[in-house]
Amino acid sequence: MDKTILLGKDLLELSDICIKNNLPKFHGEQLYKWMYQKLTLNIKDMSNIPIKLKKIISNNYTINLLTTEKKFNSQNEDTVKYLFKTSDNKLIESVSMIDNRRHTLCISSQIGCSVDCDFCATAKMGIIRNLNCGEIIQQLIIISNERKIPITNIVFMGMGEPFLNYRNVIKSCEIMNDSKGFNLSSKKITISTSGILPKIEKFISEKHKYKLAISLNASNNITRDKLIPINKKWPIENILTAIKKYNYKKYRPIMFEYVLMEDINDSEQNAIELSNLLKNINCIINIIPYNETEGYYRRSNKIEVFVKQLKKINSNYRVFIRWSKGQDINAACGQLVTENG
């Protein structure tokens, strides 16, 4: 008989397991804290869990869902890329980046990706499956335990399109944010999407407080249709219409990611178009120099010029250059890819 996955269950689900087995429901909270606060996944090490519950868990549930296959250490900065194997022998990658007191973890939400962005290495894999909530969470647990420095920021910018695995991604965010769990502030959790409009609208309507980042990467639909094919289904203007419904004052500015590529989206006209698109939106524009993979696209040599043009045209938004870490180990934005049989 296949065992039920325990890791990834929330407090209510863990309490229900206890109740159904004629045990006090407070043991569910104890399990919850062991996994998500103390980062302990071995049931034998959970000292205040009664023997009866330990036996039930051991016989009927599985906790460990990932194993570390390999690690890649950057020579240029304190960045480590982790290659994890799932229980069905598929591979995913996560990236841990430490900069002074800031420890950012870039995690995956899917094995592969179906969005098929033309410039992204992960897209070449196609989609294999969604990660379950436990597989998302365990990336954080393994790396936290190994690197010792507490994780301060989570970004869903690894393999996959988070909003095509919406339920598991949001559930994992809730566990990360919960004061009885990882206790990460909602403003330290960022979900990046290529523009899955129905889920953007759902995210806004549900009033989540996590940071939202839109991978825009183009200033017009003609260019974006080529770079991100789903733009043909959900074009820029539709996404921006939805974004304008977001309560910026109560929550946080929307972030727009713009990967700058030579002779693709880096002209002065592109800067003017981008400024006009976002002029009435409370937002942050992150200009990301393209991280080259095997393919047609090249990094722009107009990065500083493009940013100056944006700032000159309009001052309603903030503009930053986001240099990716871990390029020497293929751990930077757009470079994550694994071979899955």
Q: For position 105, which CATH number holds?
A: 3.20.20.70
Number of domains within the chain: 2
Choose the catalytic residue: 18, 113, 120, 333. 333
Whether residue 106 lies inside any domain: the answer is yes
Per-residue pLDDT of the chain (341 residues), as tens digits, is 589 999 999 999 999 999 999 999 999 999 999 999 999 999 999 999 999 999 999 999 999 999 999 999 988 778 999 999 999 999 999 999 998 889 999 999 999 999 989 888 777 788 999 999 999 999 999 999 999 889 999 999 999 999 999 999 999 999 999 999 999 999 999 999 999 999 999 999 999 999 999 999 999 999 999 999 999 999 999 999 999 887 655 567 899 999 999 999 999 999 999 999 998 888 999 999 987 776 788 999 999 999 999 988 876 789 999 876 556 655 445 444 555 54
Q: Are residues 192 and 47 in the same domain?
A: no
Could you tell me the residue range of the domain that residue 32 belongs to?
Answer: 4-62
Q: Which residue type sits at 53?
A: L
Q: Are residues 185 and 39 in the same domain?
A: no
Supply the pLDDT for residue 335: 44
Which residues have a Cβ under 8 Å from the Cβ of 223 and sit 6 or more positions away? 264, 265, 270
Supply the pLDDT for residue 334: 46
Supply the pLDDT for residue 296: 82
- Residue that is written with structure tokens 């759902």 in the block: 202
Choose the catalytic residue: 93, 135, 161, 257. 93
Q: Are residues 51 and 31 in the same domain?
A: yes
Q: Are residues 160 and 297 in the same domain?
A: yes
Supply the pLDDT for residue 176: 98
Q: Are residues 185 and 37 in the same domain?
A: no
Domain boundary among 16, 33, 62: 62
Whether residue 337 lies inside any domain: the answer is no
18 labelled catalytic: no
Whether residue 339 lies inside any domain: the answer is no
Q: At what angle do helices 26-36 and 11-20 cross, to 10 degrees?
A: 140
Supply the pLDDT for residue 1: 59
Which residues have a Cβ under 8 Å from the Cβ of 252 and sit 6 or more positions away? 187, 209, 211, 212
Whether residue 296 lies inside any domain: the answer is yes
| Secondary structure tally for the chain: helices H, strands E | 10, 14
Give the Cβ contact number of residue 40 at 10 Å.
18
Domain boundary among 62, 88, 106: 62
Using alpha carbons, select from 231, 255, 269 the residue that is nearest to residue 318.
Answer: 255
Supply the pLDDT for residue 76: 73
Supply the pLDDT for residue 78: 86
Q: Are residues 58 and 76 in the same domain?
A: no
Q: Are residues 177 and 316 in the same domain?
A: yes
Using alpha carbons, select from 247, 233, 137 the residue that is nearest to residue 181.
Answer: 137
Q: Are residues 52 and 170 in the same domain?
A: no
283 labelled catalytic: no
Domain boundary among 44, 62, 80: 62
Supply the pLDDT for residue 46: 97
Q: Are residues 56 and 117 in the same domain?
A: no
Whether residue 336 lies inside any domain: the answer is no
Whether residue 80 lies inside any domain: the answer is yes
Q: Are residues 140 and 252 in the same domain?
A: yes
